[in-house]
A and B are shown apart, each in its own frame.
Chain A
């Protein structure tokens, strides 16, 4: 098949004799936002790790841009990682408290041979791109809010202009109002940069707002996959419907508990 940026074919991962990922097949096309949704133990993070070469793949293959990358090591793996950058749940983990934000963002560029001054200059532009003030380059991470930290972590992930950003629960440690802002940032970055995003989340509602396609996982398997509007609007699997029902939209909940009445638009 052509046109896919990343493709997993029947990938299985075992941890200590337990099958954590069972015959997972999916693809990510260039410029697409794919959401992987599931609860704890569903295998969503394992699928992400298998894709990144960070989990022991027992069988199956992972392709990046048509190239088989399932078992790449050292230099070849690092070359692929340049194009697949990660964002984690806890943004503090990827920022050194002893470094200025500009230096943190510039680090991967310098490691890949960019001149220091050019890298620091680009880190200011990246701060701007993720909605922060350029002057924050000179600050250290300690005074930042959770949402600001996650923006910096995203700027750092963007430093090498990757073709895919892989984000593992990037919104789940954040306050309610900040979650939506970070989700909006992913959507905005896709439009402006044309990068693809794979976002792993337990939050179906949040993902449904930004993803083109949604993959639903349970017990190590993909149970449903398709365009976001279809998976959300007309789920075929009972588990997807249960996940839907577990999203507590306050207004829908109140309508259900107290009847329709004079709900404002």
Chain B
């Protein structure tokens, strides 16, 4: 199977030595890959290099980022800008900072549709409402007219997913999309992501510090620390038979609740 995305010996530098060292990853169409690590592991830098969204001062020092065979690592920003939004959708941790606060949610999605998919005004409006509906927002017409501050954190994250998916991208990058949310809302958003992936048949790069969230959503998991991938395999293998001690350590500090007692049990 040809990979949709290949990272080949990707090295990212911020001046004082590499922060990501020689990362190799392949992502097939339709797959969800979780990049799991703690802060400073390089997981966000790795995925943000793909759409050319590295923070100021960081640069790709070596390696290739192949999306369908095209190397994004040395692509001029103008060309990359066309790919971003149309072929790559991005969802960030905090939707409040990534949704323009003075723009209605619907108009943001419409603008993206008109720019990247060339839709006319009426078609873009219809498609924006449909996109908001598909992420499970109740009353999508009203939500399209809302400003981000009029929505809850979970609703904003749904709106951001709708925006990222509006143009039917082949790759969705989600960087800690549920970290700022309450636990019960987190599960809802993971369900939205899972359903979206099934619908658009795109691939997802999901960045998280939470092995449980990765286990819930992903087909494959890569564990990162210190800018390197320590272990990469199917979700089932990584969780049930981890080989790297660090993965074991992460598993050991994952939440574990005692089993529910049957009614009438115990005291």
Contact: B235 with A244, CB < 8 Å? no
A40→B267 CA distance, assembly (Å) = 32
Q: Which has the most chain B C-beta neighbours within 10 Å: A202, A251, A262?
A: A251
- Top 9 closest A-B pairs, CB basis? A248-B212, A205-B255, A39-B182, A246-B183, A250-B215, A180-B253, A253-B215, A175-B38, A233-B261
* A230 contacts chain B at the CB level, 8 A cutoff: yes
* B260 contacts chain A at the CB level, 8 A cutoff: yes
* A2 contacts chain B at the CB level, 8 A cutoff: no
Question: Smallest CB–CB gap between A70 and chain B, Å?
Answer: 30
172-222 of chain B: CB within 8 A of chain A: 182-187, 209-216
* A179 contacts chain B at the CB level, 8 A cutoff: yes
Contact: B260 with A204, CB < 8 Å? no
Residues of B within 8 A of A233 (CB): 258-261, 265-266
Contact: A206 with B255, CB < 8 Å? yes
Contact: A247 with B265, CB < 8 Å? no
* A117 contacts chain B at the CB level, 8 A cutoff: no
A179→B39 CA distance, assembly (Å) = 13
Residues of B within 8 A of A180 (CB): 252-253
Question: Smallest CB–CB gap between B102 and chain A, Å?
Answer: 24
Say which size band chain A's interface belongs to.
35 or more
Known: A248-B212, A254-B240. A176 touches B263 (CB 8 A): no
Residues of A within 8 A of B214 (CB): 250
* A74 contacts chain B at the CB level, 8 A cutoff: no
Contact: B253 with A40, CB < 8 Å? no
* B239 contacts chain A at the CB level, 8 A cutoff: yes
Residues of B within 8 A of A244 (CB): 257, 260
Contact: B253 with A177, CB < 8 Å? yes
Question: Smallest CB–CB gap between A11 and chain B, Å?
Answer: 23
Residues of A within 8 A of B183 (CB): 39, 202-204, 243, 246-247
A234 nearest in chain B by CB position: B261
Count the A-B residue pairs with Cβ separation under 8 angstroms: how many? 117
Residues of B within 8 A of A248 (CB): 186-187, 210, 212-213, 215-216, 255
* B100 contacts chain A at the CB level, 8 A cutoff: no
B187 nearest in chain A by CB position: A246
Question: Smallest CB–CB gap between B2 and chain A, Å?
Answer: 26
21 interchain pairs, CB-CB under 8 A:
A39-B185, A176-B38, A176-B253, A177-B253, A180-B252, A202-B182, A203-B255, A204-B255, A205-B257, A208-B257, A208-B258, A233-B261, A233-B265, A244-B260, A246-B187, A248-B186, A249-B257, A251-B240, A253-B239, A254-B235, A257-B236
Contact with B along A225-265 (1 / 0, CB 8 A): 00001101111000000111111111111100110011110
Residues of B within 8 A of A264 (CB): 240-241
Q: CB within 8 Å of B: which residues of A? A: 39-40, 175-177, 179-180, 202-206, 208, 229-230, 232-235, 242-254, 257-258, 261-264
Q: CB within 8 Å of A: which residues of B? A: 38-39, 153, 182-187, 209-216, 235-236, 239-241, 249-261, 263, 265-267
Contact: A247 with B253, CB < 8 Å? no
A175→B249 CA distance, assembly (Å) = 12
Question: Smallest CB–CB gap between A126 and chain B, Å?
Answer: 25
Q: A246-B184, A250-B254, A251-B239 are in contact. List 13 more A-B contacts (CB 8 A).
A: A177-B249, A204-B183, A230-B267, A233-B266, A234-B263, A247-B212, A248-B186, A249-B257, A250-B239, A251-B240, A254-B215, A257-B236, A264-B240
Question: Smallest CB–CB gap between B184 and chain A, Å?
Answer: 5
Q: Which has the most chain A C-beta neighbours within 10 Å: B38, B211, B253?
A: B253
Partner of B212, one of A229, A243, A249, A258: A249
A261→B255 CA distance, assembly (Å) = 21
Residues of A within 8 A of B267 (CB): 230
Question: Smallest CB–CB gap between A93 and chain B, Å?
Answer: 18
Partner of A229, one of B211, B213, B252, B258: B258
Known: A251-B240, A258-B236. A177 touches B258 (CB 8 A): no
Question: Smallest CB–CB gap between A79 and chain B, Å?
Answer: 37
Question: Smallest CB–CB gap between B61 and chain A, Å?
Answer: 26
Contact: B240 with A176, CB < 8 Å? no
Contact: B257 with A253, CB < 8 Å? no
A117→B239 CA distance, assembly (Å) = 52
A176→B179 CA distance, assembly (Å) = 12
Q: Which has the most chain A C-beta neighbours within 10 Å: B209, B213, B215, B252?
A: B215
